[in-house]
Structure 1
């Protein structure tokens, strides 16, 4: 046997290992759930292909419909997982988005962007941007998905993500400020346990995104150096951090950076005491989850 097949070149726990022969071993176990008609919440979900040319898909969630003319706010959800793991088809994602859809009475489109390192960054950012454009293609009521055509409120659109997905969500809304998607009014941005970089080099990010330095001079990692930050393409931002999360400080720093940027919107931040990273998915029995869902519902449904 070639000794290179077992020699580890890079190791980035808990996500993946890279062997000298080029093989990649993913360490993150995914537990998938099919789309469903959820009896607890009344939420229906289905899977759709949104970029046929590259196979990118999404899971759409819709709450109980009370009439043919009912319109719901639309939320583009971007999952976490270090840019290299996770899926909207994962059971923890399915459970949270069922709850959020029902609580906030919204349509959620959760994009299954292509994962690194098999697909180097910034492809996850591009796929997520294309998902927003796909949503916009329904604003004339003639897009490929009937749920969005018939029940989407394109004047009340939100972008949300957790962890690495929050980083992508922020950058999607930055891009929307530069190039607003036609037919959409992006009201707000929701960042849960957001991942942003520091001054030091993040070797995993640099490996996933060879075009990046992996350090604080990359605007995707450090919003403070992004000249487009004052034009963030939404009216308000909500950030949730967790007391025990190692990324807690980065979330607070993001909050202060946006406040001082000259952007004209409103930003608020809340900290979940006693909770850890992405508790809203990993700790569904948390006493903090119900209040968080109510907060998100209020943020989405009230100006």
Structure 2
């Protein structure tokens, strides 16, 4: 093969990845790995666990400081990272730093599921991995699951699903599956936290079409436009928090999701929060931003609001 031909770029989806004529994928951004362990600043412990050896799905668990009562039970946050379905990692430094801080602030146990990435693993594989992750987590509800932290320290009547950007889209999809599939007894998904969520529009999203060959990439796909999904009124949780940022190109899509939900006949309570003069996932990329702390506290109050 002509080497110059093999270097020809046939797709360029900045800022995520480009595809060469010979099929090679080159990402513009690669997550920096952060090892698990004890974080002295927050006193949060973390460790990595295998969920499925067959599909290579894994997760990182975060445990807040346990004082006085070693048998204390915490709410559970099941988290799905962002990255356009093709980047990011539960083991990356951005995700690790955020969850250390948030787990300490909110006093929750968090499980961040590391789903397989497109395009090497085309969608809907990531959605299926995310669902598998939730099933693995709730298998601990009887106290006899494979991980002792989840057996001993989680109140499974207070489960929250969360994600940012593409991860918010995935979290919503998992919530819809849980709405029509019975989970273990004692498991209750109380809330859904969607931060700067990625949803669709009328015009096809060419990158999403490439990542998910079975999708049109436009709003006739229920995963991109939940408003056309007949399951939406049955959404399993009782509370939803949708957060957007004023300068985010996804801002209107998040607002569209909120409007579709509240007008669907769903019986829960939804809240819409917009951060003014802020861009996409600013609280992750710039944790010291003066508006990041108030937003994290809003997340925490959503989880701890009884």
The TM-score with structure 2 as length reference comes to: 0.97
| CA deviations over 1:102-149 (Å, ceiling 9, x no partner) | 011000000110000000000100001011000111001000100000
CA distance in structure 2 between the partners assigned to 1:214 and 1:250 by the alignment: 14
Q: Does 1:49 align with 2:68?
A: no
| Residue aligning to 2:25 | 24
With 123-132 and 281-290 compared, the bigger mean Cα shift is at 281-290
1:2 Cα deviation from its structure 2 partner: 3.1
1:43 Cα deviation from its structure 2 partner: 0.5
Unaligned runs of 5+ in 2: none
| Residue aligning to 1:246 | 249
SS at match of 1:271: strand
CA distance in structure 2 between the partners assigned to 1:180 and 1:269 by the alignment: 28
| CA deviations over 1:221-277 (Å, ceiling 9, x no partner) | 001110110011111100111111111111111111100000000000111111110
Q: Does 1:230 align with 2:233?
A: yes
* Aligned pairs for 1:195-234 within 5 A: 195-234=198-237
1:217 Cα deviation from its structure 2 partner: 0.5
CA distance in structure 2 between the partners assigned to 1:284 and 1:294 by the alignment: 13
1:180 Cα deviation from its structure 2 partner: 3.0
CA distance in structure 2 between the partners assigned to 1:280 and 1:175 by the alignment: 29
1:46 Cα deviation from its structure 2 partner: 0.5
| Residue aligning to 2:149 | 147
| CA deviations over 1:259-299 (Å, ceiling 9, x no partner) | 00000000001111111101120111111121112211111
| Residue aligning to 2:8 | 7
Partner residue of 1:101 out of 100, 103, 111: 103
Write out the 4+ residue segments of structure 1 that deviate beyond 3 Å after TM superposition.
none
| Residue aligning to 1:162 | 164
Partner residue of 1:90 out of 92, 96, 112: 92
Q: Does 1:301 align with 2:293?
A: no
Q: Does 1:284 align with 2:284?
A: no
SS at match of 1:131: helix
CA distance in structure 2 between the partners assigned to 1:129 and 1:75 by the alignment: 14
SS at match of 2:39: coil
Unaligned runs of 5+ in 1: none
Q: Does 1:171 align with 2:173?
A: yes
Matched residues, number: 303
Asked if the contact 1:180/1:233 (under 8 Å) is kept, the reply is no
* Aligned pairs for 1:255-266 within 5 A: 255-266=258-269
| Residue aligning to 2:194 | 191
CA distance in structure 1 between the partners assigned to 2:221 and 2:181 by the alignment: 20
SS at match of 1:201: coil
The TM-score with structure 1 as length reference comes to: 0.98
| Residue aligning to 1:135 | 137
CA distance in structure 2 between the partners assigned to 1:199 and 1:27 by the alignment: 27
1:4 Cα deviation from its structure 2 partner: 2.6
CA distance in structure 1 between the partners assigned to 2:96 and 2:188 by the alignment: 26
